């Protein structure tokens, strides 16, 4: 009998031990699963577009206000020395201009030192054989070195073709393909390198009219800078309601990107970008804002910035763009023909009314080809 109880007790003890081991293993598995769930970062939430947002490129294409650089005779005259109004209040006419009359030097900061048509880099738009390269070294004042970051501007002045600016009720938008070279070909400097922007007039919170320039920048993050392990680029959006730039997508690989801005009838600016050269879609939405708390009244032209360290030695990153395009969405009852100014027709001009003392930067209603910041 004792032997029976001894065997039974041993079996019971073994069963308890086995149950304990199984329970411990189950607990360990549960802990592992919980730990795994905790360690897995949540998927980032996509920004939600407001109801008035629309994809850039949606609407009627203004072909003669756009460029594709397919003409082998495409050319640009620098007409140096360049303007540098932002630094020394000097606008040096007549200013750089392209043969087709679309591209002009920016009077506020001057023309890039190199502006030329090149063969389209690999991976570009299907069938494209020409693209535009621009690059700069002497980005400050002619004959002087500032040892500061400076920039030059290249303007796609579609207003010369239309005879007017585009009122926001026409819901303009612009798109461009941008080629990001391999990172070892970038100017080795952490900071802004490229900008695609729109020249606009907006209504301030006080009801005045002012100039402003929303858009997107490509920033370089160099591995030679502190706390940066490897080179990458980043999109920065200009701007939020307070005029502060907003950091957006990081870009780890070189190649083509498509970028675009759209302007809804409520005066809001919408920002889109995606890798590759396909047309933009709703999935490429980044943000919407009233930059500086301004409500857009009109879009006057589309332009590009190129920046570098103005030390007399450093060339900027070589930037290549293709197919910059302008679109409108005609108001109800209008056709695209209505955006072109007819001889003798009076159209809104949206003159600046904001006093200079309240301006967030230097400006002028006069001067050569307008001023930009």
pLDDT tens for 126-176 read: 999 999 999 999 999 999 999 999 999 999 999 999 999 999 999 999 999
pLDDT at 43: 54
Yes or no: say if 83 and 95 are a contact pair by the CB < 8 Å rule: yes
Yes or no: say if 201 and 323 are a contact pair by the CB < 8 Å rule: no
pLDDT band, very low/low/confident/very high, at 357 (cuts 50, 70, 90): low
Q: Which tokens belong to 205?
A: 């919170």
What does the CA dihedral 316, 218, 297, 331 come to, rounded to 10 degrees?
A: 110
The number of residues making up the chain comes to: 373
**DSSP code, position 353:** -
Per mean pLDDT, which range of 83-92, 212-221, 275-284 is the poorest? 83-92
pLDDT at 85: 87
Q: CA 214 to CA 137: how far, in whole Å? A: 25
Q: Which residue has the higher pLDDT, 87 or 115?
A: 115
pLDDT tens for 264-292 read: 999 999 999 999 999 999 999 999 999 99
Question: Please, what is the average pLDDT of the chain?
Answer: 87
Q: If we measure between CA atoms, which residue out of 132, 150, 133 comes closest to residue 141?
A: 150
| The pLDDT of residue 6 is above 60 | no
Task: Using CB atoms within 10 Å of the CB of residue 249, give its burial: 0 to 12 exposed, 13 to 18 middle, 19+ buried.
Answer: middle
**Positive or negative, the Cα torsion across 173, 325, 242, 246?**
positive
Q: CA 68 to CA 132: how far, in whole Å? A: 9
| The pLDDT of residue 41 is above 60 | no
- The DSSP bridge pattern shows strands 269-275 and 130-135 to be unpaired
pLDDT tens for 306-340 read: 999 999 999 999 999 999 999 999 999 999 999 99
Yes or no: say if 341 and 347 are a contact pair by the CB < 8 Å rule: yes
In this structure, CATH architecture of domain 60-358: Sandwich (2.60)
pLDDT at 356: 62
Write the DSSP assignment of 257-325 as a string of letters: EEEEEEE-TTS-EEEEEEESSSPP-GGGEEEEE-GGG-EEEEEEEEEEEEEEE-SSSPPPP-EEEEEEE
Q: CA 16 to CA 48: how far, in whole Å? A: 56
Average pLDDT over residues 340-360: 84
pTM of the model as a whole: 0.84
């Amino acid at each position: 009998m004792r032997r029976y109880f001894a065997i039974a007790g041993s079996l019971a003890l073994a069963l308890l031990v086995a149950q304990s081991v199984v329970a411990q293993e189950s607990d360990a598995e549960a802990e592992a699963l919980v730990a795994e769930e905790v360690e897995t970062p949540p998927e980032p939430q996509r920004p939600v577009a407001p109801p008035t947002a629309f994809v850039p490129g949606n609407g009627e294409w203004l072909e003669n206000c756009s460029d594709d650089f397919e003409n082998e005779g495409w050319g640009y005259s620098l007409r140096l020395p360049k303007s540098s109004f932002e630094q020394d209040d000097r606008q040096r006419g007549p200013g750089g201009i392209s043969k087709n009359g679309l591209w002009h030097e920016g009077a506020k900061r001057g023309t890039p030192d190199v502006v030329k048509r090149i063969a389209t880099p690999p991976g570009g738009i299907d069938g494209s054989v020409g693209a535009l390269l621009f690059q700069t070294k002497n980005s400050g004042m002619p004959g002087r070195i500032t040892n500061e970051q400076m920039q030059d501007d290249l303007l796609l002045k579609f207003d010369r073709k239309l005879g007017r600016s585009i009122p926001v009720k026409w819901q303009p938008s612009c798109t461009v393909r941008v080629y990001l070279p391999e990172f070892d070909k970038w100017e080795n400097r952490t900071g802004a390198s490229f900008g695609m922007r729109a020249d606009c007039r907006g209504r301030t919170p006080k009801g005045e009219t002012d100039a402003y320039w929303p858009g997107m920048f490509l920033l370089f993050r160099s591995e030679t800078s502190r706390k940066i392990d490897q080179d990458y680029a980043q999109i920065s959006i200009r701007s939020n309601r307070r005029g502060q730039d907003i950091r957006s997508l990081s870009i780890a690989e070189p190649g083509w990107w498509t970028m675009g801005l759209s302007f809804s009838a409520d005066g809001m600016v919408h920002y889109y970008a995606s890798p590759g050269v396909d047309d933009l879609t709703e999935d490429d939405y980044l943000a919407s804002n009233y930059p500086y708390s301004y409500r857009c009244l009109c879009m006057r032209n589309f332009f590009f910035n190129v920046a570098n360290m103005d030390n007399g030695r450093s060339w900027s990153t070589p930037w290549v763009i293709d197919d910059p395009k302008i679109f409108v969405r005609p108001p109800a009852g209008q056709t695209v023909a209505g955006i072109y100014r007819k001889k003798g027709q009076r159209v809104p001009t949206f003159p600046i009314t904001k006093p200079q003392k309240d301006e967030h930067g230097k400006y002028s209603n006069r001067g050569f080809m307008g001023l930009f910041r």
